[in-house]
């Protein structure tokens, strides 16, 4: 580690399109959000998340704790090199210097400078119990640790925010000391002092009262960091804003330790739509639903269906008491227009709604079902039966279009099935050798344009081997395959319906450079399910390439 204070990495400049500084939307998904049980982020994941959050327009992105673990150190290096931030500033998280150590001798503090982040959030104790039990030092030394570390980083050109851990519990125990920590940080040059409800036990009325008093008694610029243990994190965040806080710390989808953190999306939506305060760049609020779902995909969690504003159910109305009135005037039964946050109203499916959505879907895919009730009915029935078996077409447009074309093909002149080859059989072999290496080999037997094809290939796994064998076998007949590439592969195990064994669903995303499409396969084993999704992926790719359907 280089000597940081003789050769500090120069901090990043403020982004051109940076949002105004009078109110901070501070995202800590990459740091505090990553502590959610079940989230395990790679550096690549963190870079992707940072791009989404910067694009959405948050003012600050807390990337992690450089020096604390190799992943976070690497993230800051790569983020500076690879991401051109348009709205957000990158924030490094760390702790005040150790007790009894000179700040310039604390390697953890040096790592904060080396990260090159223009902003640093320091976590500090403001609860005398924690100072004694957790830090094992005196209240006076704790104040010195705060003052020294804030001043040291300020002197080296960093902007400093101070997170007061356990502030509300500490305030209940010893309000004078808690406020002294706020004053000390503020006087040492911290731009914002963040009051953290670390254990998440607070309720909005308590938060508002404390924030109001601390603001009056210290005059410091205050922020709020709420955890959701009482189910009130969003309300606690807004209560702090009502009381004068001008900096809110949140995580995307409320990810975080235990129950989670204050959820960025309902907080931003409330500030923009209920408070009339523009906290995002113009037009970004309408990206909320997309960004929320994209982030869920990156962290590999299913988007929460009932999340406020962005859940697929958030504006779904069940038939009954409301249905008739909704037709009169949707605003009677919605608190906002869903389009404001990029979501849509849904009437939950009756059979009629089912037909309507199939027709709509057909139009979306450029296939006019011409109100053919018999055909549409057949497609509805087929989709219901397939979805009952585990298929999902919401996530697999290409497979749905192929299904639609198959049904159209049934009545002769309405086009023909987009099938370019037929599978006779295939075989995949996975071998774990005594030397620990793996061999993956696949053989496929196909028919295309009346020709029987037998091809074998190896791969880094059985599915990859099948993929290669299929290409080897078909590329002479369909050279268009060369441009098709698989870009994503997802597996979900679905519980068997009636105690039968579980079944496997595979979703594959493919691209030809001009666009991406998704296909689905379902079977009792992962290889067979993957083959179905591969079959659809290539059939749809060849359809896009304008190849002539012929088996």
Contact between residue 238 and residue 16 where contact means Cβ atoms under 8 Å apart: no
State the Cα–Cα distance between residues 103 and 97, nearest whole angstrom. 5
**Cα separation of 320 and 301, whole Å?**
32
The residue range among 2-10, 188-196, 450-458, 490-498 that interacts with a second copy, by the rule CB under 8 A, is: 490-498
Q: Which of residues 1, 22, 276, 306 is near a second copy by CB under 8 A?
A: 306
Torsion-angle region of residue 120: left (phi > 0), alpha (psi -120 to 50) or beta?
Answer: beta
Binding to a second copy, residues 44-63 (CB under 8 A): 44-45, 48
Ramachandran region of residue 166, left (φ > 0), alpha (ψ -120 to 50) or beta? left
527 binds a second copy (CB under 8 A): yes
Binding residue for a second copy, selected from 228, 359, 512, 536, defined by CB under 8 A = 228
Question: Footprint of a second copy on residues 87-126 (CB under 8 A)?
Answer: 95, 123
DSSP 205: H
Options 26, 171, 315, 421; binder of a second copy; rule CB under 8 A: 315
Instruction: Please pick, from the candidates 317, 382, 414, 416, the single residue that binds a second copy as defined by CB under 8 A.
Output: 317
Is 27 one of the binding residues for a second copy (CB under 8 A)?
no
The structure tokens listed for 269 are 């939506």
- The minimum distance between CB 470 and a second copy, in angstroms, equals 12
For residues 300 and 294, what is the distance between their CA atoms, to the nearest angstrom?
10
**H helix count then E strand count, the chain:** 17, 16
Number of shown-chain residues binding a second copy (CB under 8 A): 131
Cβ neighbours of residue 505 closer than 8 Å, sequence gap 6 or more: 390, 391, 392, 491, 492, 493, 494, 520, 521, 522, 529
Give yes or no for residue 209 binding a second copy (CB under 8 A).
Answer: no
Q: Within 503-522, which residues bind a second copy (CB under 8 A)? A: 504
List binders of a second copy among 261-300 (CB under 8 A). 263, 266, 269-270, 274, 300
82 sits near a second copy (criterion: CB under 8 A): no
Give the C-alpha separation, 267 to 271, whole Å: 6
Chain CA centroid to CA 451, Å: 46
* Binders in 366-425 for a second copy, by CB under 8 A: 384, 387-388, 392, 394-395, 423-425
416 phi/psi in degrees, rounded to 5: -135, 160
Distance CA 362, CA 354 (A): 12
Among 4, 25, 34, 224, binds a second copy (CB under 8 A): 34
- Distance in Å, CB of 359 to a second copy, minimum: 16
Q: Which two tokens stand for residue 526?
A: 């992962």
Residues 167-206 that bind a second copy (CB under 8 A): 198-201, 203-205
Of 277 and 497, nearer to a second copy (C-beta) is 497
User: Interface with a second copy includes 501 (CB under 8 A)?
Assistant: yes
Instruction: Choose between 103 and 484: whose C-beta lies nearer to a second copy.
Output: 484
């Amino acid at each position: 580690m280089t000597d940081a204070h003789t050769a500090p990495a120069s901090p990043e400049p403020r982004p051109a399109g940076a949002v105004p500084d009078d109110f901070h939307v501070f995202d800590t998904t990459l740091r505090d959000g990553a502590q959610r049980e079940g989230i395990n982020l790679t550096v690549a994941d963190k870079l992707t998340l940072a791009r989404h959050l910067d694009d959405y327009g948050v003012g600050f992105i807390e990337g992690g704790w450089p020096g604390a673990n190799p992943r976070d150190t690497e993230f800051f290096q790569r983020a500076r090199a690879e991401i051109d931030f348009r709205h957000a500033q990158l924030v490094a998280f760390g702790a005040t210097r150790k007790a009894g150590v000179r700040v310039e001798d604390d390697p953890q503090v040096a790592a904060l400078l080396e990260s090159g982040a223009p902003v640093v959030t320091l976590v500090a104790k403001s609860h005398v119990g924690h100072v004694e039990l957790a830090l094992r030092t005196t209240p006076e030394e704790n104040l010195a640790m705060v003052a020294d570390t804030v001043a040291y980083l300020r002197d080296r050109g960093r902007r400093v925010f101070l997170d007061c851990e356990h502030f509300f519990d500490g305030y209940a125990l010893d309000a004078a000391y808690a406020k002294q920590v706020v004053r000390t940080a503020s006087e040492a040059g911290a731009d914002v002092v963040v009051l953290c409800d670390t254990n998440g036990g607070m309720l909005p009325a308590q938060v508002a009262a404390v924030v109001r008093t601390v603001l009056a008694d210290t005059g410091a610029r205050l922020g709020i960091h709420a955890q959701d243990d009482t189910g009130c994190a969003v309300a606690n965040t807004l209560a702090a804003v009502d009381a004068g806080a001008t900096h809110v710390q949140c995580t995307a989808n409320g990810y975080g330790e235990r129950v989670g953190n204050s959820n960025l999306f309902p907080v931003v939506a409330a500030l923009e739509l209920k408070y009339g305060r523009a906290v995002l760049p113009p037009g970004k609020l309408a990206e909320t639903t997309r960004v929320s779902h994209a982030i869920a995909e990156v962290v590999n969690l299913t988007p929460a269906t009932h999340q406020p504003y962005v859940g697929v159910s958030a504006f779904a109305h069940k038939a009954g008491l409301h249905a008739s009135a909704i037709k009169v005037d949707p605003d009677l039964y919605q608190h906002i227009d869903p389009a404001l946050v990029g979501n849509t109203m849904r009437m939950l499916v009756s059979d009629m709604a089912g037909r309507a959505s199939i027709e709509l879907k057909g139009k979306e895919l450029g296939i006019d079902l011409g109100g053919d009730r018999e055909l549409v009915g057949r497609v509805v029935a087929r989709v219901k039966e397939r979805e009952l078996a585990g298929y999902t077409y919401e996530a697999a447009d290409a497979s749905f279009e192929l299904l639609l074309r198959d049904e159209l093909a049934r009545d002769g002149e309405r086009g023909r099935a987009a099938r370019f080859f037929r599978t006779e059989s295939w075989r995949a072999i996975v071998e774990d050798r005594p030397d620990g290496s793996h061999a993956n080999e696949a053989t496929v037997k196909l028919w295309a344009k009346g020709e029987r094809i037998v091809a074998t290939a190896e791969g880094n796994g059985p599915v990859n081997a099948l993929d290669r064998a299929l290409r080897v076998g078909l590329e002479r007949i369909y050279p268009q395959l060369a441009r098709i590439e698989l870009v994503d592969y997802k597996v979900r195990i679905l519980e068997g319906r009636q105690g039968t064994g579980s079944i496997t669903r595979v979703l594959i995303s493919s691209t030809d450079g001009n666009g991406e499409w998704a296909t689905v396969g379902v079977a009792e084993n992962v290889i067979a399910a993957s083959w179905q999704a591969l079959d659809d992926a290539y059939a749809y790719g060849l359809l896009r390439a304008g190849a002539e359907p012929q088996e």
